[in-house]
Amino acid sequence: MTDTQSMRNAAASPRFPAVILYVRAPRPGRVKTRLAHDIGLRQAAAVYDVLLGHALDCIRPLHAQARLILECADSEDVPLLQLRVAGLAEVRAQSGAGLGERMADSFDRVFSEGADAAILVGSDLPGLHHALLLQGIGALRYSDIVLGPARDGGYYLIGMRRHNPELFAGVTWSDAATCLQTVRNIDAQQLSLETLPMLSDIDTAADLYTWVHAHPEHPITNAITAVTDSIAQH
């Protein structure tokens, strides 16, 4: 057996849950387009770069406890992200026509590869921390589904201990009712649910300013301020 085969077999071991992080390479014009409309393409990409780095820092402590996977919306981002994570996680492209289809496929893949539980999380969350991810994984020991609601009506994390593609059916994505519709699907399947603390993601300038003003001394705020100020000066 080759070293690569051994690594794949170990990664797919049912002893480990899977943590799937949805990501993009922080290229101007390709990320945070609503935020870019207000603050500019380069500034929006720089903000996402900070948030992506924070998300990677959050999953890094889980390396020995979970299979870490970065999934890119754009297949062209895969080699760029592979260089960035340098072996921390697997990097591969998402598959599917819409967000719900892509998330269903992500869970289908990890469960078919041997995961005994899986969580999927976004990469634009300044309030994310690794203890919250551990809480989400731990919740799947006694609940069928775990959900992290976002303040905009969506959710930043969803996890399950077996594949449930029905949860994504009929959901309006990027909508104030996204989380509520998902909870209705969970109830319809008679599945147990654990809810994590609510967090805010950064999609618009209003989201960004709300975070910065509410957390003026936070390291994420300092990093965002530094990169956006630097760009504005050039």
**Where residue 121 sits, what CATH number does that domain have?**
3.90.550.10
Whether residue 6 is contained in a domain is answered as no
In a domain, 107, yes or no: yes
Residue 93 lies in a domain: yes
Assigned domain for 138 exists = yes
- Per the domain annotation, does 59 fall within a domain? yes
Question: What's the pLDDT at 172?
Answer: 96
Residues 102-151 pLDDT 10s: 999 999 999 999 999 999 999 999 999 999 999 999 999 999 999 999 99
Counted domains in the chain: 1
pTM over 0.75: yes
CA distance 137 to 1: 31
Q: How far apart are the C-alpha atoms of 233 and 14, rounded to whole Å? A: 51
Q: Which pLDDT tens digit goes with each residue over 87-115?
A: 899 999 999 999 999 999 999 999 999 99
Whether 4 is covered by a domain: the verdict is no
Pick from 122, 121, 128: nearest CA to 211: 128
Range of the domain at 213: 15-232
Residue 148 lies in a domain: yes
Closest CA to 165 of 114, 115, 111, 92: 111
Output the CA–CA distances (angstroms, integers) from residue 159 to 134, 137, 196, 231, in the order listed.
12, 8, 11, 37
Residue 20 lies in a domain: yes
Q: Is 186 exposed, middle or buried (0-12, 13-18, 19+ CB in 10 A)?
A: buried
179/4 Cα distance (integer angstroms): 39
Predicted confidence (pLDDT) at residue 59 exceeds the cutoff of 70: yes
